[in-house]
């Protein structure tokens, strides 16, 4: 495929290539490189996959297979805000399902706020738990969720 490597790359592809090249020397480099790409761009694009495959001498299918296996690697740009509600058993024991349903109703799909599920945040004694824009919150209530959200939509 050497003939298909473009001579000019987008700025994003150049950044991704730098990240992949920097991470290439370690053992089993693909996951650390994908984490670096996520940290830089917030998601993994088709172009990123092609560049990483090129740097690591893997097929694009190999890289795509790894990206699609793990929940953390997004294939779409991240929303403005994220609510990740824990649906693990320990949080369910203190009402996580009701909270998850309420959060989904409060923030309909397609808006600025993305509601997702996560299975265990390790805060099982102080549930229900959720991650609000990257911050772990315990003993979560609907009121607390609304307070956080008020700051987002204002």
Partner 1 sequence: MTTVWVPCDAAARAVGADEVAEAFAAAGATVRRNGSRGMLWLEPLVEVETDAGRIGYAAVRPQYAGDILAGNHVDLGVVEDHPWLADQHRVTFTRVGRHEPTDLAAYRSDGGYAGLERALTLDPADVVAEVTTSGLRGRGGAGFPTGIKWETVRKAASDLKFVCCNADEGDSGTFADRMLLEGDPFSLLEGMTIAAYAVGASEGYVYVRSEYPDAIATLRRAIDVARAGGWLGRHIAGREGFTFDLHVRVGAGAYICGEETSMLDSLEGKRGEVRAKPPIPALVGLFSQPTVVNNVLSLATVPMILADGGEAYAALGTGRSRGTQVFQLAGNVKQGGIVEADFGITLRELIEGYGGGTRSGRPLKAAQVGGPLGAYVAGDQLDLPMDYEAFAEAGAMIGHGGIVVFDDTMDAADMARFAMEFCAKESCGKCTPCRIGSVRGVEVIDRIRSAPDADSRHQAFVLLEDLCTTMEKGSLCAMGGLTPMPVRSALRHFPADFAQNPPVDSDKNPPIVHFSSEGSTS
Annotated binding site for [2Fe-2S] cluster: 86, 91, 120, 124
Please tell me whether residue 29 binds partner 1 under the rule CB under 8 A: yes
Closest CB 77 distance from partner 1, rounded Å: 18
User: Residue 13 to residues 8, 17, 18, 74: CA-CA distances in angstroms?
Assistant: 10, 6, 9, 17
- Show contacts with partner 1 in window 112-131 (CB under 8 A): 118-129
Partners of 132 in the β-ladder: 83, 135
Residue 65 interacts with partner 1 (CB under 8 A)?
yes
Closer CB to partner 1, residue 10 or residue 71? Answer: 71
Choices 6-14, 107-115, 137-145, 146-154 (CB under 8 A): range interacting with partner 1? 137-145
Cβ-proximal residues to 135 (8 Å cutoff; 6+ apart), any chain: none
Number of residues that bind partner 1 (CB under 8 A): 48
Tokens for 104? 């989904």
| Core vs surface per residue 61-94: b (16+ CB within 10 A) or e | eebbebbeeeeebbeeeebebbbbbbbbebbbeb
Q: What are phi and psi of 98, to 5 degrees?
A: -65, -40
Of the candidates 59, 93, 146, 147, which one interacts with partner 1 according to CB under 8 A? 93
What residue ranges bind partner 1 (CB under 8 A)? 26-32, 34-35, 65-66, 69-73, 86, 88-95, 97-99, 101-102, 118-129, 136-139, 141-142
């Amino acid at each position: 495929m050497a003939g298909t490597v473009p001579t000019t790359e987008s700025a994003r592809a150049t950044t991704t290539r730098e990240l992949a090249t920097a991470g290439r020397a370690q053992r089993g480099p693909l996951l650390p490189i994908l984490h670096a790409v996520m940290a830089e761009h917030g998601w993994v694009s088709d172009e990123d996959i092609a560049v990483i495959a090129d740097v690591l001498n893997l097929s694009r299918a190999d890289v795509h297979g790894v990206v699609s296996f793990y929940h953390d690697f997004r294939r779409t740009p991240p929303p403005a805000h994220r609510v990740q509600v824990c649906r693990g058993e320990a949080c369910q024991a203190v009402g996580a399902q009701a909270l998850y349903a309420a959060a989904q109703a409060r923030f309909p799909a397609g808006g600025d706020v993305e509601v997702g599920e996560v299975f265990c945040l390790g805060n099982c004694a102080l549930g229900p738990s959720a991650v609000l824009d990257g911050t772990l919150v315990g003993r979560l209530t609907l009121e607390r969720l609304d307070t956080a959200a008020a700051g987002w939509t204002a």
